[in-house]
Amino acid sequence: MGTIALLLVVMFAILLVMDVPIAVAIALSTFVAILAEGSDPTVVVAANMANGVNSFALLAIPFFILSGHLMGRGGMAGRLIDFAGTLVGFLPGGLAYVNTLTCMLFGSISGSAAAAVSSVGGFMIPEMNRKGYNREFNVAVTTTAATTGLLIPPSNIMIVYSVAAGSVSIAAMFVAGVLPGLISGFFIMLVCGIFSHRNRYPCEPRSSLKEIVTSFRRAFLSLFLIIVVIGGILAGVFTATEAAAIAVVYALVLSVIVYREIQLAELPDLLLQTGITTAVVMLLIGASSGMSWIMTMANIPQTVSATLLGLSDSPIVILLTINVLLLCVGTFMDMTPAVLIFTPIFLPVVERLGMHPVHFGIMMIANLCIGLCTPPVGTCLFIGCGVGKTTIAKVTRTMLPFFAAMTVALFAITYIPTTSLWLPVQTKQLKAEDVDKYTFMNIESSSKR
């Protein structure tokens, strides 16, 4: 079985180096490994791909993708920018805080970091340029702040993790991401404050109470979507999948009828873009299901688990090693395939350490968010540089303090379980007695190898 595992890894690495699309690389390497194992790859791959996407929970993904497209074009970004401006614009370097806060709000509403970079950045980056802010700084703020929306619910990647992990509640994941998302946003704002103080960036006029109330009213319907989706799930009114469908209806009414930013003639194009994005995600999920099958047959998760647990008796060291590995993975692999491939490998390890699966899922997502901002595959970084009309080489140096801030937030999320588990317990999405079974960083359990 060692030969099959080696063949799978080498084949996958070669295809990635050849710039083969990630879903195709997963499927082809799986096909070859299953063939070497002695099974019929045409049957096994087809069956696992079909079973991999045969999940009611995955129906939420195309709905959330469509609602994200509707919000991106529906005029919500401008209203959120105005509202954020009245709250924090008066601070030194106020537009940087406005940018960060708006990206957090819009990213959480749309569930897409890329949409937040393009929609919010399309307005904020030119505006910050005009006010004398450094162009590379503006791109760095937008790029990193947009990723916080993947932690603050609703989030497609949380659904993908829930499916990859097996029996993890999507609702629990949604609630668990709120505090970590706020923590990440706080550290990014902290870097913004240091930059603003050092460069003496200007502040905007302080808004009156009337202006704050007015901007809140304009943004209320956009913000209310979060209450509808999360509140409905927490209240047990509907499931995450049903909430995604409701989000589509809400965003459609808001964008087409209320705000009138989207014309009916534009809907076919939005549906087409949704279909393309959904097809890519579902192909990744299906192909990864086949890879998970052959990895299990080749005992790869067990081998990795034994290796990591053999490195040290300290959970701190093992989790640090996992985080470093995921950070390296995130630099060359997009978030969805990374979650699908490495969840079955690392989840058994962290459970041996006494780490709750929901906590690990939030840690993994926070880790891979950094990869969205790093070359060579950083999706948000490429979009941000395109919107800001600059180059990756120029932005990378300015990004370093933001990387440091996101890493500090990641360590806080990793080693302080309450950041991820307190809110789900308080909202009854996780039972306290079930969480208590996971004694995080339990050295005794980690030594029982």
Q: Report how far residue 343's alpha carbon sits from residue 58's, in angstroms, rounded to the nearest whole number.
A: 17
3-state secondary structure of 440: coil
3-state secondary structure of 448: coil
Contacts with 34 (C-beta within 8 Å, 6 or more apart), sequence order = 40, 41, 44, 45, 290, 293, 294
**Residue-wise pLDDT tens digits, 82-138:** 888 888 888 888 888 988 988 888 877 777 788 788 888 888 888 888 888 889 999
Of residues 124, 120, 176, 119, the one with CA closest to residue 150: 176
How much of the chain, in percent, has pLDDT values that exceed 90? 24
3-state secondary structure of 428: coil
Q: Report how far residue 181's alpha carbon sits from residue 177's, in angstroms, rounded to the nearest whole number.
A: 6
**Residue-wise pLDDT tens digits, 315-335:** 889 999 999 999 988 888 888
Quick one: average pLDDT of 369-389? 85
3-state secondary structure of 200: coil
Confidence of residue 228 (pLDDT cuts 50, 70, 90): confident
Note the residue count of the chain: 449
Confidence of residue 378 (pLDDT cuts 50, 70, 90): confident
Q: Is the peptide bond before 92 cis (omega within 30 degrees of 0)?
A: no
Angle between the 156-165 and 357-371 helix axes, to the nearest 10 degrees?
Answer: 130
Cα end-to-end span (Å), the chain: 21
What is the span of the domain harbouring residue 245? 2-446
Average of per-residue pLDDT values in the chain: 86
- What is the reported pLDDT for 446? 37
Higher-pLDDT residue of 423 and 39 is: 423
- What is the reported pLDDT for 420? 93
- What is the reported pLDDT for 445? 38
Tell me which amino acid residue 54 is: N
- What is the reported pLDDT for 403? 94
- What is the reported pLDDT for 447? 37
Residues 142, 384: contact at Cβ < 8 Å?
A: yes
Q: Report how far residue 227's alpha carbon sits from residue 222's, in angstroms, rounded to the nearest whole number.
A: 10
Q: 443 pLDDT exceeds 80?
A: no
Confidence of residue 298 (pLDDT cuts 50, 70, 90): confident
Q: 140 pLDDT exceeds 90?
A: yes
Q: Report how far residue 60's alpha carbon sits from residue 241's, in angstroms, rounded to the nearest whole number.
A: 4
Q: Report how far residue 193's alpha carbon sits from residue 372's, in angstroms, rounded to the nearest whole number.
A: 23
Number of domains in the chain: 1
Choose the weakest-confidence range: 45-59, 176-190, 360-374: 45-59
- What is the reported pLDDT for 441? 56
A 10 A CB-CB count for 436 gives 10
Confidence of residue 449 (pLDDT cuts 50, 70, 90): very low
Rounded to two decimals, what is the model's pTM? 0.86
